[in-house]
Structure 1
Amino acid sequence: MACLLEAPLRISVLSEVTATSRHYVDRLFDPDPQKVLQGVIDMKNAVIGNNKQKANLIVLGAVPRLLYLLGQSSSSPELRTECAVVLGSLAMGTENNIKSLVDCHIIPALLQGLLCPDLIFIEACLRCLRTVFISPVTPVQLLYTDPTVIPHLMSLLSRSQKTQEYITQIFSH
């Protein structure tokens, strides 16, 4: 009898999480840049430690939009940084999350972000790249598709202690 009572509850909770996830994704398309930023920050807070929420956001298409916002020079530095942080959090989920992120071409987008002069944004991109590359499911050769990447990473080593840490962890894997 208990199982019969639990099933509707599980369905209700799942649809609630999915509805909440849909709300986060919808906010990424708001015409007001401040609302988009707040939506990304709220998304970041929602996915921390919540693999179900991470999976829902990936399935609902948040990653392409986050990558788009991350890559837009017209996006504020704070928005671009928050997008990189959310992507990094999504990467800290399951191996399926990593596969989905790689399939969405997260690596080229983050490597492109390393060309930005904003150190905080660079560190966020590197932290996300580190998380992606330490996963056993990430093809390491993706780091070597462009011959300018390794020299650029080497040039970033001296930018901060964090850049040193993230880049050496990327190289060590």
Structure 2
Amino acid sequence: MKDSLSAFIRLLSSGCLQEPEIERIADEAAQAYADPDAFLAANPDINYDDSFPIPLGEWVVIGSLPDTVLFQADDYQTLFEQVVASFGPDVPFVLKAKQLARTEPLKALNRIQVQLSSLYPEKGGYVLVDLSEPLDDELQAVLVYRCDLEAMLALAVEVGIYAAPSYESLRAALEE
């Protein structure tokens, strides 16, 4: 489980986490999956209980991701602001967050995805991917290199953490 978690975290972090941090998160999550009671007993500062809609191991993964990797917001404008901030001032964005105000969600998400697809062409751009069950916000996503998307989604299934490309997921939900 730990190796799969490491590979999963490595792909979803798109180079934003150092290897020791990836291994630490994967190790803690694997322990939490294997024996939740022992993990909670060894880590009394962990604020988790059975009412959470995700397993403890998944909660450890999600809770350990920095805000340069995991983006959480209640609307796409705020989510995009976080994405832009994670790249820093040296990366130019044509799309501005204020252009997403009062835009319907699918259209906003399409604009975001088009912008992300143009970044880092050597890797095929980025794909915004919904990750896990949002606990406090409406939206929760990570950026994955397009070239890593298929492998990351396969690992998500293997480790049991929900992941789906945001735009395609919302489009499919609206068509239902």
TM-score of the two chains, using structure 1 as the length reference: 0.29
Of Structure 1 and Structure 2, which has the larger fraction of its residues in strand?
2
Q: Per chain length, whose mean CA-contact separation is higher, i.e. which structure has more relative contact order (CA < 8 Å, sep 6+)?
A: 2
TM-score of the two chains, using structure 2 as the length reference: 0.28
Greater Rg over alpha carbons, structure? 1
Of Structure 1 and Structure 2, which has the larger fraction of its residues in helix?
1
